[in-house]
Structure 1
Amino acid sequence: MNINFSAKTIGVSIASVFLLFYFVGVYWSFAVEPIDIQHEVTSAATADNVAPVIGYTTTTTLIKVASSILDKPGGYLSNDALPPGVFLDNMPSWEFGVLEMVRDMALVLRKDFSRSQSQSLENTHIKKAQPKFNIDNKSWAMPSAESEYRKAIDHLYKYRNALVGISTIKDDHAQFYARADNLTSYLDEIQKRLGSYSQRLSASVGKDKINTDLAGDSVARQSTFEGSHSQLRTSWFQLDNVFYESRGAAWALLHFLKAIEIDFDSVLKNKNATISLQQIIRELEASQQTLWSPMVLNGDGFGMLANHSLVMANYISRANAALIDLNELLRKG
């Protein structure tokens, strides 16, 4: 009797722990709520007793988006070594998508937004912040990914303080230049990023891809030979990872473009490009609709089941096409 009782107790305990991990994992996998940028900027400016200047909104948005992967339920999951985090893959993929967009924004902030011309000095705070976002996102040893991201965010706060003149460091000056050429530099960065996501999402059904790598240049060459056609197909085990990574990237980009709409308002109006940017924002908002299925479906073509990857690819492709048009408008408009 004692043996049976012990075995039963152990079985119930294991089942209880499993259920606990399951429900905690489900909770940690809930979609992250969108950020109210206007509210965050107003709150931050009120707390600091300052008036937002050019660049304040974009910097605040970068801080909040970067913080979102650290402060959401469950915290940062990509480098978890213990259950239930170690068994989750959708949310870590979402985190990586957000992180990729954070890295792009931090890089452009360092190279372009905070500098007026190619010969200008780079801001010391951004110079320290940008490399810290590039640590391996799965690093858990010293230094951990979370600690480096926190340090990067702290440097962004210092840059924002310098923008509005409340830095505690003597002779600490910072600028943010809302110029058309700076904005096109950022759009150049994210165009290729979105193009890559579109290709990976479309590969959920497999397709024969024509090699266009050297198209348009009769004397172009590449390192190794590649055939004129290639067959691309995302592994069944990677479908949900690619989907959630793309969803995370779209979520982050959506907020950055909303911030850009505010900081680059005069530039956009001068180029008559505000409507174009708003159309891109609308496409990205559509990509964040609730996924009602318990899993990412991979229906084929016009079959009976939906293909969520192709739906996401459609929104991202449309946003990317509009980005290309916006970039051309900023350059020539």
Structure 2
Amino acid sequence: MLEPVINFFSRLFYYIGRGIGFLIGLILWPFIWIGKWYGQRGLILKAVLGVLVLVWLGLYGYFFYNTQVWTNFNPDYVNVYDFKSRNVPAGEPIAQAAATGAKTCARSAIVEVTADLTDFNVNQNGWISSMLLYKLGFFGKDWDDTPFMDNKASFQRGINNAVRRTAVELVDTLGRIRGTSQIDADLQKARGNLQFAEDSWYFGLNPFGPKTPTPSYYRSAVRDLRTFNAKLESCNAIFDARADNLIQFIDRIANDIGGTSAILKDRSENNNYGWFDFRADDRFWFAYGQLYAYYGLMNAAQVDFNQVLQEKHLAPLWDGMDGQLRSALNIKPWIIANGSEGGWLLPNHLTTMGFYILRVRSNLIDIKQVLQQ
């Protein structure tokens, strides 16, 4: 009585097994063909092709390692600075040093974090966007259009976006008196280096010829920023920690993350394909990198503008914004899903990140309004 059922399942599993075997054979066939072809070649050609294959495997191994290993990634990296113990605004004389007769001023925490974030991007980690294999893509297809190898690149670009924004403010307002004094040469060089294209390799087609790769420019910016801070420490540079400069800095950041929020909203509403939206991870990790950077920069601003914040009694509002930034960094899903906002099966990580961005932006606007009073 059970024999027909047993026969049915036997045939079913037999055909499933044959189908799997056929699929595996189809996948392996090109490699088998190449292996036979390679075995029939001469010794010299074998040696040349073998070296090329080893180089290719080495490049991909290096590329895979750099995209998957996030060296020194730490959402709590701000704790290393111990900002709570620093209470002298940037550029102001340090009383303890003055008592001993030494002429020493406070370094800028904003400049320090800007330099360290760039150092994290290009010295502690490989800069993904300008790597040859990243530029070549996945069989010619842009890595950003695939679910592979692009999360770290987007994260780094998010950090770089915040760092570039900060470098502009350092040159235009923070590193000079009322925006009218001479621009600091080191800050100017740092800004120019940080604005360099993110995807430059050693050789390019437009224009055709050798080039200086992107990481070299960013490493120069790190040196320029640290040179400025050394001058500031010796009281030979300016950091204009006035309330109107802080207002402008906050306003620029609010606009910056507001634009990111709009990008997340557009992607969420128009491309909600769940786990099959291969651009959702790029948007998410860019926003994450941006907030990762601004978390440190806003903590640094609390030190550099310490006197202004005390005068305006802004500590509670600032701590609230700081808490929102840190909470956003807790969202680290293994796979980014862009599900329907009203769906019940798949999450929408873009909407969640957008929610935190809007809360941070709201806190920034509240702080700005208090500063303007």
TM-score category of the 2 structures, normalised to the smaller one: 0.7 to 0.9
- The answer to whether the 8 A contact 1:40-1:60 is kept is no
User: Quick one: which of 332, 338, 357 aligns to 1:291?
Assistant: 332
1:71 aligns with: 123
Q: Which whole-Å deviations, capped at 9, do the CAs of 1:202-252 have from their partners, x for residues lacking one?
A: 22332xxxxxxxxxxxxxxxxxxxxxxxxx558933211111100000000
Q: Given the alignment, which residue of 107, 121, 129 partners 2:168?
A: 107
* Counterpart residue number, 1:241: 282
Cα distance, 1:317 vs structure 2: 0.6
Tell me the CA shift for residue 275 of structure 1: 1.5
- Greater CA deviation, 126-135 or 283-292? 283-292
Counterpart of 1:305 in structure 2 is 346
Q: For each residue in 1:22-62, what CA deviation from the matched residue of structure 2 results, as whole angstroms up to 9, or x when unmatched?
A: 962663357822464464579xxxxxx99984442221111
Match of 1:197 among 260, 285, 300: 260
Residues 112 and 54 of structure 1: is their aligned pair in 2 closer, same or farther, counting only changes over 3 Å? farther
The CA distance in 2 between the partners of 1:292 and 1:256, in whole Å, is: 24
The match for 1:127 among 188, 196, 203 is 188
Q: How far 1:93 moved relative to its partner?
A: 0.9
Q: How does the TM-score come out when normalised to structure 1?
A: 0.76
**1:55–1:177 Cα contact (<8 Å) kept:** no
1:167-316 to 2 correspondences below 5 Å: 173-206=236-269, 236-293=277-334, 295-303=335-343, 304-316=345-357
Q: Deviation of residue 292 (structure 1)?
A: 3.5
Higher helix share: 2
1:152 and 2:221 correspond: yes
Counterparts of 2:293 and 2:367 in 1: how far apart (Å)? 19
The aligned residue for residue 177 of structure 2 is 116
* Distance across 2 between alignment mates of 1:160 and 1:262: 14
Q: Distance in 2 between matches of 1:271 and 1:323?
A: 14
1:165 is aligned to 2:234:
yes
Show the counterpart of 1:81: 132
Q: Which moved more, 1:97-106 or 1:270-279?
A: 270-279
Q: Using the alignment, how far apart are the partners of 2:104 and 2:284 within structure 1?
A: 36
Distance across 1 between alignment mates of 2:354 and 2:182: 39
The answer (yes or no) to whether the contact 2:272–2:339 under 8 Å persists in 1 is no
Q: Distance in 2 between matches of 1:274 and 1:262?
A: 11
**Count, aligned residues:** 288
Equivalent-residue separation in structure 2 for 1:51 and 1:34 (angstroms) = 36
Report the Cα offset of residue 72 of structure 1.
3.3
Which range moves more in the overlay, 124-133 or 25-34? 25-34
Question: In 2 relative to 1, CA 318–83 (structure 1 residues): closer, same or farther, beyond 3 Å?
Answer: closer
Q: Which residue of 91, 113, 130 corresponds with 1:61?
A: 113
| Equivalent residue letter for 1:273 | L
Question: Which amino acid in the other structure matches residue 280 of structure 1?
Answer: M
- Kindly tell me: are residues 96 and 113 of structure 1, through their superposed partners in 2, closer, same or farther at Cα, counting changes over 3 Å? same
Match of 1:210 in 2: none
Structure 1 SS opposite 2:368: helix
Q: Report the alpha carbon displacement of residue 149 of structure 1 after superposing the two structures with TM.
A: 0.8
Tell me the SS of whatever aligns to 1:318.
helix
The whole-number CA distance in structure 2 between the counterparts of 1:85 and 1:92 is: 14
* Distance change (3 Å), C-alpha of 1:110 and 1:185: same
- What is the CA-CA distance between 1:269 and the residue it aligns to? 1.3
SS of residue in 2 equivalent to 1:205: helix
Are the equivalent residues in 2 in contact too, given 1:110–1:122 (CA < 8 A)? yes
What is residue 90 of structure 1 aligned with on the other side? Answer: 151
CA contact (8 A) 2:67 2:150 kept: no
1:290-332 superposed Cα distances (whole Å, 9 cap, x missing partner): 5243x21112123221100000000001000111111111111
Q: Could you tell me how far apart the structure 2 residues matched to 1:6 and 1:129 are?
A: 50
TM-score (norm 2): 0.69
d(CA) in 2 for partners of 1:328 and 1:40?
A: 28
C-alpha RMSD of matched pairs (Å): 3.3
CA 296–120 in structure 1, closer or farther in 2 if over 3 Å, else same: same
Mapped contact 1:126–1:155 kept (Cα < 8 A): yes
Per-residue CA deviations over 1:183-204 (Å, capped at 9, x if unaligned) read 1111111111111111111223
User: Whose Rg is larger?
Assistant: 2
* Cα distance in structure 1, aligned partners of 2:35 and 2:103: 66
Q: Relative to structure 1, is the Cα distance of residues 51 and 240 closer, same or farther in structure 2, using a 3 angstrom cutoff?
A: farther
> In the alignment, is the contact (CA less than 8 A) between 2:341 and 2:351 conserved in 1?
no
Q: Which residue of 1 aligns with 2:198?
A: 137
Corresponding residue of 1:225: none
